[in-house]
């Protein structure tokens, strides 16, 4: 299990400022934890998104697939753009349903 204690955290807001901050962090290929609101739907198909289930989390998911599924399920098109940026940076996404967070990492 990865240690996420020193990874910067950002509360998700569906606005341009938050999108810019996420993209800036990802472009620098630095990890980031997105803390999602309670009503955010994080249920995705692990196989479709290339995730490896482990200890109640989905690990090393393909960013474009995960973010496209979340964009569709939550009606937030900007998540597609984040997925593209994560892929370009060569990073992966872990999904923590219980903790309501997305962990972007190398």
pTM of the model: 0.94
How many angstroms separate the CA atoms of 98 and 43, rounded?
10
Q: In this predicted model, what pLDDT tens digit does every residue of 7-64 receive, in sequence order?
A: 999 999 999 999 999 999 999 999 999 999 999 999 999 999 999 999 889 999 999 9
What sign for the dihedral angle of Cα 62, 16, 97, 29?
positive
Closest listed residue to residue 63, CA positions, set 83, 38, 85, 39: 83
Residue 55 pLDDT: 86
The three-point CA angle 69-78-14 to 5° equals 105
């Amino acid at each position: 299990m990865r240690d996420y204690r020193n990874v910067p955290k950002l509360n998700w807001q569906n606005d341009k400022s938050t999108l810019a901050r996420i993209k800036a962090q990802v472009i620098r290929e630095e990890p980031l934890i997105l803390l999602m609101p309670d009503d955010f739907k994080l249920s995705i198909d692990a196989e479709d998104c290339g995730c490896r289930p482990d200890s109640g989390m989905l690990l090393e998911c393909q960013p474009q697939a995960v973010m496209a599924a979340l964009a569709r399920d939550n009606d937030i098109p900007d998540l597609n753009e984040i997925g593209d940026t994560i892929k370009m940076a060569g990073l992966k996404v872990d999904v923590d349903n219980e903790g309501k967070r997305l962990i972007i990492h190398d």
